Structure 1
Amino acid sequence: MAYVCEIGTGQRAYLDNQGKQTIVTTASSSLGQQQQSSQSFVTGSWTASPESFRNASGVVVKITTSQGQYFIQIQGNSMGMMAESPSLQGAQQIQLQQVDYIPTSLMPPMEPMKPMEPMEPMKPMEPMKPMKMGDMEMSMNPMQMRMGNMELRMDKAVSGTHRFCSQCGTEVSPSDRFCSACGHRLQ
């Protein structure tokens, strides 16, 4: 038999014993949002109904089995087995109610994603026409920009001995046929 208790505003803890496992499921819901988390602990079969207590650090669940007592700490959606029994002095006992089942999910499952439609191959770009704006002129092949009496120009041949891989940007030697960083064939 499973149990449920209210552990906070819009938050419930479900407890179930399946064989030697105690399964704790926390479920919280608020406007437009639902969260659920489950964890299983090896405790053995229950010999008594579980008990739950609210203390300063959250909720403590007490599980009694033929192997002894186990304590599970619940804080928000995280939970864990406590190494030693906590002091429950001054803790408020939380009422547990029996339920027929534990919800596996509060939200309906999402539909599987549909495969993407194949994309059309890209068409080659048309050469860019020179642009003019006032006394500024810019063209792409070769890349050049003129504004007033200033001019910036980049031809295919780079001045000096510096050469760079067009794939990854790593500097390469003029005699290299392949980039040493990415293996791209150099032109």
Structure 2
Amino acid sequence: MGYVCELGSGYSIYLDNQGTQTMITTVMSSPSQQQQTSSSISTGVWTAPPKIFRTPMGAAIEIFTAQGEVFISVQGNATSVTSETSFIGSAQQMQMQQVASAPSFSTPMEPMSPMLPMQPLKMGNMQMNMNPMEMRMGSVATSTSMSTSSSSTRRFCSQCGKAIEPSDRFCSNCGHHLA
């Protein structure tokens, strides 16, 4: 069972005791974005509900354990253990509510669907096709053949990169055996 404290202006702190670890999740949200940061601090098992105080720099949390009290400073998304206790007298204690767990805002993405083959692109009197590559604007057409034949394909040595002929068994530059 965890606790949440709404500090206002879209800023919330969630606390949860998981064994000897205290999980602290800060959530800052605005209409256009949301940031969530979680950190874990070894505090020991809680013996009483935590207290949270508003401070000029953010918040301070007081955790009660069998080993004593642990004080945690929270400034924005940064958390740290502190020995500072002077805030208790002058700081405002905030109300906390019990919650089942800290929120999780990450939703799994749907798998990407395969890309559809390119269709002819038409804009007004212009049309483009990709295979074979051709472009038509009104009555003017241009096309490029993308066909390749084995006789015009250049080969290169995988060892040194020098151009080789299809009939070569060894590279004339480095002597590498060509497969």
TM-score category (smaller protein): 0.5 to 0.7
Asked if 2 retains the 8 angstrom alpha-carbon contact of 1:10 and 1:29, the reply is yes
Structure 2's unaligned 5+ residue stretches are 117-159, 164-179
Aligned-partner SS, 2:37: strand
Residue 109 of structure 1, CA deviation? 2.7
Note the aligned Cα RMSD (angstroms).
2.9
Distance 1:66 1:19 in 2: 13
**Could you tell me which residue of structure 1 aligns to residue 29 of structure 2?**
29
Asked if 2 retains the 8 angstrom alpha-carbon contact of 1:51 and 1:63, the reply is yes
Distance 1:16 1:94 in 2: 17
Residues 112 and 34 (structure 1 numbering): CA distance in 2 closer, same or farther, change over 3 Å?
Answer: farther
Distance 1:79 1:113 in 2: 37
Asked if 2 retains the 8 angstrom alpha-carbon contact of 1:61 and 1:72, the reply is yes
**Could you tell me which residue of structure 2 aligns to residue 73 of structure 1?**
73
Residues 80 and 112 (structure 1 numbering): CA distance in 2 closer, same or farther, change over 3 Å?
Answer: farther
Indicate yes or no: 2:99 matched with 1:90.
Answer: no
**Could you tell me which residue of structure 2 aligns to residue 46 of structure 1?**
46
TM-score when normalising by structure 1: 0.58
Residue 186 of structure 1, CA deviation? 8.2
What amino acid does structure 2 have at the position aligned with 1:52?
I
TM-score when normalising by structure 2: 0.60
Asked if 2 retains the 8 angstrom alpha-carbon contact of 1:12 and 1:27, the reply is yes
Distance 1:8 1:115 in 2: 44
Distance 2:42 2:103 in 1: 21
Structure 1's unaligned 5+ residue stretches are 118-183
**Could you tell me which residue of structure 2 aligns to residue 101 of structure 1?**
101
Distance 2:114 2:72 in 1: 43
Residues 114 and 95 (structure 1 numbering): CA distance in 2 closer, same or farther, change over 3 Å?
Answer: same
Residue 58 of structure 1, CA deviation? 1.2
Residues 8 and 78 (structure 1 numbering): CA distance in 2 closer, same or farther, change over 3 Å?
Answer: farther
Asked if 2 retains the 8 angstrom alpha-carbon contact of 1:70 and 1:85, the reply is no
Residues 110 and 32 (structure 1 numbering): CA distance in 2 closer, same or farther, change over 3 Å?
Answer: farther
What amino acid does structure 1 have at the position aligned with 2:38?
S
Distance 1:37 1:112 in 2: 26
After TM superposition, where is structure 1 displaced by more than 6 Å over at least 4 residues in a row?
114-117
Distance 2:40 2:76 in 1: 16
Asked if 2 retains the 8 angstrom alpha-carbon contact of 1:29 and 1:35, the reply is yes
Residue 111 of structure 1, CA deviation? 3.2
